[in-house]
Amino acid sequence: MKDHYAHTISMDAHGSNMSYRDVYLDLDPTYRDSYGQPLLRMTFDWKDNDIKMARYVTGQMQKIAEAMGPKALNVYTRQFGVRFDSRRYQTTHLVGGAIMGTDPRTSVINRYLQSWDVPNVFVMGASAFPQGIGYNPTGLVAALAYWSARAIRNQYLKNPGPLVSV
């Protein structure tokens, strides 16, 4: 490690996961927690288009790495037919579950991350996004949390109720 520390590079790419009707979260009909409540179930697997996008980006990255003239190069890219496995780190940032939108019929939360159905519930996190953006969502999640906290402090606490009228 000490001999190669200044001569080693690791490159990584994040692909996007688009929205699909057969990719969703629901309550598991079989498994329950210690209080008897159903566990959250995630139905997800890579779609061919997601794999094609990831393979394209990885191929471009490989060309850059090869141009650097490495002594060794190890390239991993997503393979068709290999199922998603949440037990193994895959540089994924899975999102969704409480989609943000302008219409309560097609989304769960409004622009302030406030539940359309229960106005005293605010949902912070990447669950507000309908699909992966191909980039670590941490900065955007933090910005939305600050946006929501500001609305809670400046609007909701003064007049509890829906922050967006429909």
Which among 47, 126, 135 has a CA at the least distance from the CA of 91? 135
Instruction: Tell which wins on pLDDT, 14 or 118.
Output: 118
Q: pLDDT tens for residues 127-148?
A: 999 887 777 888 999 999 999 9
Q: Is 161 left (phi over 0), alpha (psi -120 to 50) or beta?
A: left
User: Given CA atoms 166, 133, 39, 79 in this order, what sign does their dihedral have?
Assistant: positive
**CB atoms near residue 128 (< 10 Å):** 26
Q: What b-and-e string marks burial along 78-93, b requiring 16 or more CB atoms within 10 Å of the CB?
A: beeeeebeeeeeeeeb
Q: Is the pLDDT of residue 91 over 70?
A: no
Which of 18-22, 93-97, 140-144, 146-150 bottoms out in mean pLDDT, i.e. has the lowest? 93-97
More confident residue, 132 or 115: 115
Q: How far apart are CA 114 and CA 121, in angstroms?
A: 6
> Average pLDDT, whole number, for the chain?
89
* Domain range list for the chain: 1-92, 95-161
Q: Known catalytic residues?
A: 93
Q: Regarding predicted confidence, which is higher, 34 or 96?
A: 34
Band of residue 11 on the pLDDT scale cut at 50, 70, 90: confident
Judge whether residue 107 has pLDDT over 70.
Answer: yes
pLDDT for 137 equals 85
> Are residues 115 and 107 in contact, defined by beta-carbon separation less than 8 angstroms?
no
Q: Is 56 helix (H, G, I), strand (E, B) or coil?
A: helix
The string of pLDDT tens digits covering residues 32-73 is: 999 999 999 988 888 999 889 889 999 999 999 999 988 888
pLDDT higher for 32 or 21? Answer: 32
Distance (Å, whole) CA 8 – CA 142: 32
* Pairwise CA distance, residues 7 & 23, whole Å: 42
